[in-house]
């Protein structure tokens, strides 16, 4: 069943609101210094929507919003609809802390948790660990403008004719995003990684039918699967494409786990992480070659050790590392401020800079 004019208009209000929200975020995170035109185009979206759609919005008093479609009506009605949902009474629920997990008994795949994990690895989220957060906002703007155009030209009718200006604006916004996609390889890298993890077809790491998907859930791989997007990752775009082709041809359980370990790289390096993988595979009766899995894990440990050696030798990398743990003020004091004898000693509060050596040893 297609969308009615009312539902199309409601959806357009939401999308225009999202566009302007993303434009504000892009303005805050912008390091391109070339997004001014894109942001200015988005700022015209409310004008195009409200001015062209005036026939679909009738003057009413503020307490009569049923049947109207203006920003106030759409927002309030959406809030009222959400408020109608009854809270969970809790009847029949069990406290997970009271449950005793049988480590020898296979557990069913949690489809809800898998859906959440797959959604968390969207292209926009994969772009966030990249060198520039602006990339994520540019992609969200493109995706939202594309959806907006799709809603408008859902049918070639009078409604579409009324919003032809907004439809053209959505196309201009998408076109303004094109140079960023063309000039930055991170977009291509995020796309290929997304296809490898959750793309179309069955040959993906987090597909429902892949037995290794439950290993990813139980071992909390989550954000570690986005490691290739980080600046220090050894996984290149070329290597990701090779992995994707390899996966498309078909892999056994061992192959999937080894591929996932290569994707995560230095993100997994503790012995208990390896034990967790082996334990889940044993419990779920997933047949693997333990020797190959151990070799793949050892490669992750070596990558982590190499990364820590670089961090220990390079002052800027050491600062970035400490900032991520303690915050920029502590990191700056540790590396750039000379000790002040008038200050009380803080060594018992803040770990020494040489903690990287200790971390390397696990």
DSSP readout, 340-352? -TTSPP-TTTS--
246 lies in the same domain as 275: yes
Angle of helix 164-183 versus helix 134-152 axis, rounded to 10: 150
- As given in the structure block, the two tokens for residue 74 are 């759409």
- The verdict on residue 122 lying in a domain is no
170 lies in the same domain as 70: yes
How far is it, in rounded angstroms, from Cα 19 to Cα 35?
A: 14
- The verdict on residue 31 lying in a domain is yes
- The verdict on residue 97 lying in a domain is no
Q: What is the mean pLDDT of the chain?
A: 80
177 lies in the same domain as 136: yes
Question: Which of these three, 308, 329, 347, is where a domain ends?
Answer: 308
Based on its alpha-carbon atoms, the radius of gyration of the chain, rounded to whole angstroms, reads 26
161 lies in the same domain as 265: no
208 lies in the same domain as 287: yes
- The verdict on residue 106 lying in a domain is no
What are the start-end ranges of the H helices in 56-104? 71-83
Judge whether residue 283 has pLDDT over 60: yes
- As given in the structure block, the two tokens for residue 51 are 């001015």
What tens digit of pLDDT does each residue of 335-357 get? Answer: 666 555 444 444 444 444 454 45
pLDDT score recorded for residue 196: 94
SS (H, E, C) 38-49: HHHHHHCHHHHH
- With cut-offs at 50, 70 and 90, classify the pLDDT of residue 329: low
Judge whether residue 151 has pLDDT over 60: yes
237 lies in the same domain as 284: yes
- The verdict on residue 344 lying in a domain is yes
17 lies in the same domain as 149: yes
39 lies in the same domain as 173: yes
Which residues, other chains included, contact 231 with Cβ-Cβ below 8 Å and sequence gap of 6+? 130, 131
Find, among 123, 172, 183, the residue nearest to 145 by Cα: 172
- The verdict on residue 93 lying in a domain is no
202 lies in the same domain as 237: yes
Global pTM? 0.75
Question: Which of these three, 154, 183, 212, is where a domain ends?
Answer: 183
As a dihedral over the C-alpha atoms of residue 340, residue 345, residue 351, residue 352, rounded to 10 degrees, the angle is 50
Exposed, middle or buried, 282 (CB in 10 Å: 0-12/13-18/19+)?
middle
Name the more confident of 64 and 244: 244
Judge whether residue 359 has pLDDT over 50: no
- The verdict on residue 101 lying in a domain is no
Judge whether residue 153 has pLDDT over 70: yes
- How far, in Å, are 2, 69, 113, 200, 225 from residue 8 at the CA level? 10, 10, 31, 27, 36
- The verdict on residue 59 lying in a domain is yes
Considering its fold, how many domains does the chain have in total? 3
318 lies in the same domain as 202: no
How far is it, in rounded angstroms, from Cα 262 to Cα 267?
A: 10
136 lies in the same domain as 209: no
What tens digit of pLDDT does each residue of 81-130 get? Answer: 666 654 554 444 444 444 455 566 788 889 999 999 999 999 999 998 77
Q: Containing domain of residue 254, as a range?
A: 192-308
Find, among 257, 255, 254, 279, the residue nearest to 268 by Cα: 257
CB of 227 within 8 A of CB of 263?
Answer: yes
323 lies in the same domain as 269: no
């Amino acid at each position: 069943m297609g969308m009615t004019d009312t539902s199309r208009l409601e959806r357009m209000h939401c999308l225009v609101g999202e566009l302007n929200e993303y434009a504000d975020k892009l303005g805050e995170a912008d390091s391109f210094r070339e997004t001014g035109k894109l942001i200015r185009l988005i700022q015209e979206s409310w004008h195009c929507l409200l001015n062209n759609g005036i026939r679909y919005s009738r003057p009413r008093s503020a307490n009569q919003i049923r049947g109207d479609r203006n920003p106030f009506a759409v927002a309030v009605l959406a809030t009222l609809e959400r408020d109608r949902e009854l809270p969970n009474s809790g009847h029949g629920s069990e406290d997970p802390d009271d449950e005793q997990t049988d480590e020898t008994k296979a557990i069913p795949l949690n489809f809800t948790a898998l859906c959440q994990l797959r959604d968390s690895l969207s292209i926009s989220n994969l772009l966030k660990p990249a060198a520039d957060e602006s990339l994520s906002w540019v992609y969200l703007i493109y995706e939202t403008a594309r959806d907006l155009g799709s809603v408008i030209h859902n049918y070639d009718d009078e409604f579409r004719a009324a919003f032809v200006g907004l439809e053209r604006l959505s196309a201009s916004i998408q076109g303004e995003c094109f140079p960023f996609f063309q000039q930055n390889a991170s977009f291509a890298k995020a796309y290929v990684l997304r296809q490898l993890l959750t793309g179309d077809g069955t040959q993906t790491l987090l597909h429902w039918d892949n037995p290794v998907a439950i290993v990813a859930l139980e071992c909390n791989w989550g954000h570690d699967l986005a490691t290739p997007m980080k600046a220090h990752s050894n996984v290149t775009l070329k290597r990701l494409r090779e992995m994707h082709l390899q996966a498309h041809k078909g892999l056994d359980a061992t192959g999937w786990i080894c591929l996932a370990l290569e994707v995560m790289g230095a993100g997994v390096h503790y012995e208990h992480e390896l034990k967790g993988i082996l334990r889940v595979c044993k419990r779920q009766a997933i047949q693997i070659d333990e020797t190959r899995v151990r070799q793949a894990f050892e490669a992750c440990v070596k990558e982590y050790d190499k990364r820590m050696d670089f961090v220990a030798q390079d002052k800027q990398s050491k600062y970035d590392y400490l900032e991520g743990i303690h915050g920029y003020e502590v990191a700056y004091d540790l590396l750039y401020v000379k000790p002040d004898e008038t200050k009380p000693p803080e060594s018992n509060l803040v770990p020494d800079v040489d903690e990287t050596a200790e971390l390397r040893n696990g």
